Amino acid sequence: MKKLKFLIGRIFEIDYRQLFDTVKKVHKISGKNSIALFFDIIYCGFRYQAGYIDYLNARMDRLNKEERLDVVTRGVNNQYVVKYNDFDYVHYFLNKADFNEKFGKFLGRDWLLVEGEDQRSQFADFIKGKDDFILKPTDGTHGDGVAKLPAEMASFDASMDKCPYLAEERIIQVDEMASLNPSSVNTIRAITFLDKEGKANLLAAYMRIGRGGIVDNFCNGGMLTPVDLETGTLMYPAVDGENVAYETHPVTHKSIVGFKIPQWEKVKAMALEAALVVPQVRYVGWDIGISEKGPCLIEGNEYPGHVFYVFAEHHPDKKGCRHVFESVMD
């Protein structure tokens, strides 16, 4: 009876508009029967905990049972987060001020938590010698609310309604990284897992590339592509939120496939060291930029976005990430 109630509940929770939209998109790509796709998408939701976007991005219509089981779907990723990340400690990642305090040695930039008018003198000291700075909401996600402002007291007055916020020194990325896209800091998302022996493992890494905006976030027009963990080389075309693949950057025309991330060994070392700081949060996605001072930690994500793992464009052999991840997970 409980299982029946659960199934009925799930059926009523289905977003049929998005479901039908996914059916249309997959039908257009594959030519497969729409009715068959409709029921297969629902089946994959129950059997593999795959969302509609998972089904589309991973092209699960092309995968057999074993291959589908290897996809780190939204539901599988959620299980990892719940099992391995202690909720009592995730505030270090959810609150950017807490994060900066805890991971200060990795930041490589000046910053100030602005909470009110009484910090006028502190802000004046912070902006000395700077042309501009980055404003970040303390609880923002996906790059929402991030802005570049001139380093002047007028910015302090104009931003009072945004308190509390972080004022951070703007990162100047190295020329090699800027050649991909100069408008944003292009970052590496490094996925780490702290095993039961306390050893930090690098599970995967992805390059996030901006496309004309101030941030490189996938949700705000950016692109992503996997990184070879041994060499730091970008192996496949970058994919955007519309599932369009780019071998070269659409704005800068810089080659993406074959691009080698500078200071790669230092980037890996930083991610693995950062993974040890809050051992109660074992499964983390770290965003790392490469400035003129070296690798710098932008933020840590206690809920690593599973969208990085699923794109069919990045898995031509149809092998997913799950077997790699779970080879070190307990």
Over residues 10-17, mean pLDDT: 68
Question: What local confidence, expressed as pLDDT, does residue 143 receive?
Answer: 72
Q: Does domain 86-104+173-302 have CATH number 3.30.470.20?
A: yes
- CATH 3.30.1490.20 in the chain, residues? 110-169
Least confident of 144-148, 152-156, 307-311: 144-148
Single out the residue of 164, 172, 108 nearest to residue 137, CA to CA.
164
Name, in order, each residue with C-beta under 8 angstroms of 63's C-beta and a sequence gap of 6 or more. Answer: 71, 318
54-89 pLDDT per residue, tens: 999 999 999 999 999 999 999 999 999 999 999 999
- Mean pLDDT over each residue of the chain, to the nearest integer: 91
Ranges of CATH 3.30.470.20 domains, the chain: 86-104+173-302
Region 196-217: mean pLDDT is 86
- Tokens encoding 67: 């291959």
Q: Which pLDDT does position 11 carry in this prediction? A: 53
Are 235 and 225 within 8 A, CB to CB? yes
Residue 319: predicted pLDDT: 96
DSSP code string of 195-216: -TTS-EEEEEEEEEE-SSSS--
List the one residue out of 45, 64, 47 whose CA is nearest residue 55.
45
| pTM (global) more than 0.85 | yes
- Cβ within 8 Å of residue 7, ≥6 positions away: 46
Instruction: Specify the CATH superfamily of domain 110-169.
Output: ATP-grasp fold, A domain (3.30.1490.20)
